Amino acid sequence: MTSVSRIDTVRLGGQDGPEVGVQGFGAMGISEFYGETDEAAARDTLDAALEAGVTLIDTADIYGSGANEEFLAPFLAAHRDEVTLATKFAIERRADDPAYRAVRNDPAYIRKAAEDSLRRLGIETIDLYYMHRRDPGIPFAESVGAMAELVREGKVRYLGLSEVTGPELREAHAVHPITALQSEWSLFSRDVERSAVGAAAELGVTFVPYSPLGRGFLTGAFADAAKDLSGGDFRQYQPRFTGENAERNAALLDPVRKIAAAHGATPAQIALAWVQQRASVHGLTVVPIPGTRKRSRLEENAAATRVTLTAAELAELEPIAGLVAGDRYPDMRFTSVEREA
């Protein structure tokens, strides 16, 4: 089920927001986390994205410690008007300590991070600027306040948050309108349905589900996960991808495979169709951002926007998330779950 016809469009954050394809593109894996990348194939995948109408391109300053933004620069130079570029700040890394991570939300850090991202991307304005992680020690009045100042200066167009709870989204939205909330949401990860999804729907904030393919697990490509992952792939440290958990989680894919066969589709397409339809149950606008480095997969994923699951199929998929073994991160302190009431 592959098609290169252009996908539908939607406005981020309601009537005044930018118009983007109903599915976006996650660029992270091009530079880090998922093993070796063939850069020519990745460039071709970006071209395939635009051909399919996949126009929301997602990166972050930490992906490859700036390398992902630099990789995108020539693509942006060639296609600036066709792309809505999203990047993120807040996770500090250190060149001399690969394991070091700190969450930074202070205004001076935000300003410097934005200026560094603009320089690496080679653009004048970031279309959508996300706070990648929240530091609860810094009030939103300060952090979102600093982001709003970047909007006033023309360095940023729209604001987003990542991994915040519903109450946090409401609080931030009162400081400055939030256009998009990006958090993990898939057949395997549904903790956002506790409070964030409802708040986003109510406020008219677009939800951008990240890792909608469960970091590849939902495609069925990692049935034997622990053995398939090479040295540079961080999924070998992910609780869901390793040991007994991987075996148990692989067995959860049986209904996904069965439903895929009934549609003449792939498991990846069923996973993407699920998140799109689950959002509409909540009256929510959603733009999932699957990541891939292959043109054929980009086309396959984009074609999923045309797959519609029946009520019976949705019911069959409903129990899966509750049965998943292992957390979605090795260290859950950096997610919103820890701050859910």
| Residue pointed to by tokens 């972050």 | 60
Q: Which CB atom, from 101 or from 194, has the smaller least distance to ligand NAP?
A: 101
Tokens of 316: 């069959």
Q: With 0-12 CB in 10 A as exposed, 13-18 as middle and 19+ as buried, what is 132?
A: buried
3-state secondary structure at position 131: strand
**Residue with Cβ nearer ligand NAP (27 or 126):** 27
User: Looking at beta carbons only, is 131 or 150 nearer to ligand NAP?
Assistant: 131
DSSP string, 7-69: PPEEETTSTTSPEEESS-EE-HHHHSSBS---HHHHHHHHHHHHHHT--EEE--TTTTTTHHH
Residues found near ligand NAP in the complex (CB under 6 A): 26-29, 34, 58, 132, 162-163, 182, 210-216, 219, 221, 268, 289-294, 297, 300-301
**314-338 core/surface letters (b: 16 or more CB in 10 A; e: else):** eeebeebbeebebebbeeeebbbbe
**Measured CA distances, 196 to 23, 163, 207 (Å):** 20, 9, 9
63: annotated active-site residue:
yes
- Give the shortest CB-24-to-ligand NAP separation in angstroms: 8
- Closer residue to ligand NAP in complex, CB, 34/140: 34
Identify which of 253, 222, 220, 240 has the alpha carbon closest to the alpha carbon of residue 320. 253
Residue with smaller CB distance to ligand NAP, 285 or 292: 292
Reference 271, options 286, 283, 256, 284; nearest CA is 256
Least distance to ligand NAP, CB of residue 236, Å = 13
d(CA 162, CA 213): 18
**CB 263 → ligand NAP: shortest distance, Å?**
14
For residue 269, give the nearest of 314, 299, 241 by alpha carbon. Answer: 299
**Residue 96 or 237 having the CB closest to ligand NAP:** 237
As measured in angstroms, the least distance from the Cβ of 292 to ligand NAP is 3
Cα–Cα dist 149/143, whole Å? 10
Residue nearest to ligand NAP (CB): 26
Under DSSP, the state recorded for 234 is: G
Q: Smallest distance, Å, CB 218 to ligand NAP?
A: 7
Q: Which of 63, 109, 129, 130 is catalytic?
A: 63
- Shortest distance (Å) from residue 210 CB to ligand NAP: 3
- The set of catalytic residues is 63
